Structure 1
């Protein structure tokens, strides 16, 4: 991941702004309570975490990423935003991490995964791990590329070729996998495909 992002990280947010659809809607839908804890898996440059911390000033925010290069950029962005006291970052494999060791937290009230699963080979394990790390009553919020079923086939073909240049693979079975993992964990699950299937959004709520 460091080899992919060593140079991309400097233009990542500007270059992704117009096609990572649904990120701000995901943040708006978190609706945490005061003093809830919020974790972003695959936090990248810190763009989403900064937005979350500003929107929900009563919450403590955490981010993990496997890329040290991305985390270096995120640390700088967080400090420039004046949020170093409210956002903590750590390097970890999202498919198997210990929140107590990383952050001194047993679990999280909200977990966010935004356009990261399409870049993580063991993405199913990441979803399972995220559900396992939810506190009772917590929720997991996912947005990523969908199957583009409602879009013209030519547009879909061009998009897939473009995404492949950045090592991105839309997970067409994401809705089915998330539903199955939620059911296995005794959690509820809601899935929708906005923008004519360009994206997929899922919310898993732990009882």
Structure 2
């Protein structure tokens, strides 16, 4: 069996044989749903889409999802269940173990969270830089902040914040390339062109107690 994804050769055969030769022992239970969140997005109307892989049981529209966050139990109603194919989707009334789908109405889950199972330990990369958001004069800062909060819900490492003293929106980033990506995302999704200030290093050091520092400066030409 051979092929090339780049040339679109043999891909269907590979997927078909992979499906035929692999087996997943899903439990066909009706009473208790289990799943794993693998990403969060928003549609063109601003609806929050929580994408889930069903691992056990059945989930139906208008049922409540039960999950744990920081030791507390939460219940949220599933208003819609969508099966996506690219940018298009089909509304369905129920999903079963093995299905990949998105739900509308659930707002408290993030990528990696488990439903009826343990959450996956987070190993996200830690941003090392921060940058301020520069936008056109006359644009409401609260509106810009709300856009970035939407992006933050999809990518939590952004850590979007409002600096009251400086009156500016700040985001945490990994590097300049990410800023270019954010510019493109803002233009495509919110129809607004923005810029960013010069990235600054995120200093993580914290003093545990008061210290005294000494400095000695040699005069020029002392040698």
TM-score category by the smaller chain? under 0.3
Tell me which protein shows more strand as a share of its residues: 2
Q: Which has the larger share of helix?
A: 1
Highest CA radius of gyration, 1 or 2? Answer: 2
Greater relative contact order structure (CA < 8 Å, 6+ sep)? 1
Task: Give the TM-score of the pair, scaled to structure 2.
Answer: 0.21
What TM-score does the superposition give when structure 1 sets the normalisation length? 0.22
